[in-house]
Amino acid sequence: MGRIAYVNGRFAPHGEAVVHIEDRGYQLSDAVYEVWALFGGKLADPEGHFARLERSLGELSIAMPMSRAALTLVLRETVRRNRVREGLLYLQVSRGVARRDHAFPNPPVRPALVITVSAVDRAVSDARAAKGVGVVTTPENRWGRCDIKSVALLPNVLAKQKARAAGAYEAWFVDELGFVTEGASSNAWIVDADGRLRTRDTNANILRGVTRHSLLDVIRGEGLEVEERPFTPAEALAAREAFITGAGSLVLPVVSVDGRPIGERKPGPVATRLRRLYIEQARATAI
Ligand code: PDD
């Protein structure tokens, strides 16, 4: 059975699903998105993703395309029609379709909603986690509102491509003061030389990762020490462990920075354990 997409109230075969050429998401990146991990056909971290979606839309004065309850039904129906158990759900809301003009359409138009689902081979991701991944560093060059999950991702695209070209999995943005902000599509963490977990605080110009937030709950539940404090690439290299979090990567050990190894270039015990615990919790609380 083929993939099915949801576009503005209709389900369509993936290859035939289309949006209007004057969709403001397409022309102006005037749109936000969310990505949910799917476990057993259910949405992981539902509350966190819905709350961030509503916040991103609110910051841009775009209306929720429907109530949270109705949207939940549509998301679930899209997953069901795709028969996907392990995977990702992508949702995008744009300001809508209007004749091209940078300012908002007046009167407002209906927001445009697109949902797609893709399968993930967890055996492949688990193998990647067992080996660990490399990251490269790149100067932070994004706008000042990275807290909004906007589809304007060109710096992230270029950063990720830089990583791919170097044979790495992720790129870490480094700000003017020399601190890692976050990854191109993930949040960045270390277990520092003293054994303390560290990740950038959310007052910084980063996306408030939902996986990050859920993992902080797991970490505190385990009684581990954690600090929301910046770290430099040099501190990452001197750290015991490093890892990234996100709906796509879940919790993924990082074993090198710019080609140089962290420790013995092997996933560490803390990241490995946190990955297992996060996945257990996400599976148990998915809806
Ligand atoms: N990316 N930082 C950035 C810049 C991201 O794009 C993402 C997620 C994260 C992690 O957020 P979360 O834990 O809520 O997934 C952090 C998604 C997965 C993507 O762009 O595909």
Per residue in 86-114, pLDDT tens? 999 999 999 999 999 999 999 999 999 99
Tokens of 150: 């906007």
CB distance 35 to ligand 1 below 6 Å: yes
Is the CB of residue 250 less than 8 Å from the CB of residue 275?
Answer: yes
Q: What angle do CA 12, 16, 21 make, to 5 degrees?
A: 110
Which of 180, 182, 187 most suits a substitution to test ligand 1, by most atoms within 8 Å of the C-beta? 187
CB distance 248 to ligand 1 below 6 Å: yes
Which of 35, 146, 175, 214 most suits a substitution to test ligand 1, by most atoms within 8 Å of the C-beta? 35
pLDDT at position 200 over 80: yes
For the chain, what is the largest distance between any 2 Cα atoms, rounded to a whole number of angstroms? 59
Q: Which amino acid does the sequence have at 56?
A: S
Q: Whose CA is nearest to atom 11 of ligand 1?
A: 209
Put simply, whether the predicted model's pTM sits higher than 0.95 gets the answer yes
Interatomic CA distance for residues 141 and 244, integer angstroms: 20
Cα end-to-end span (Å), the chain: 24
pLDDT, tens digit, 9 for 90 and up, residues 253-270: 999 999 999 999 999 999
Local confidence band at 47 (pLDDT 50, 70, 90 cut-offs)? very high
Distance 283 CA to ligand 1 centre (A): 19
Arithmetic mean of pLDDT, 219-237: 97
Task: Give the mean pLDDT of the chain.
Answer: 98
**Is the CA virtual torsion 243, 228, 187, 160 positive or negative?**
negative
Output the pLDDT for position 1: 65
Interatomic CA distance for residues 134 and 261, integer angstroms: 9
Catalytic residue among 149, 160, 162, 266: 149
Is the CB of residue 4 less than 8 Å from the CB of residue 12?
Answer: yes
Which atom of ligand 1 has the smallest separation from the CA of 45? Answer: 14
Cα-to-chain-centroid distance, residue 247: 5
CB distance 89 to ligand 1 below 6 Å: no
Which atom of ligand 1 has the smallest separation from the CA of 52? Answer: 14
Arithmetic mean of pLDDT, 227-232: 98
**Is the CA virtual torsion 279, 171, 59, 93 positive or negative?**
negative
Arithmetic mean of pLDDT, 133-157: 98
Phi and psi torsions of 80, nearest 5°: -60, -45
With 0-12 / 13-18 / 19 or more C-beta atoms within 10 angstroms meaning exposed / middle / buried, residue 40 is exposed
| DSSP state, residue 16 | G
Q: Does 149 qualify as catalytic in the annotation?
A: yes
Output the pLDDT for position 60: 98
Distance 199 CA to ligand 1 centre (A): 15
Tokens of 97: 């379709």
Tokens of 285: 């609380």
pLDDT, tens digit, 9 for 90 and up, residues 239-257: 999 999 999 999 999 999 9
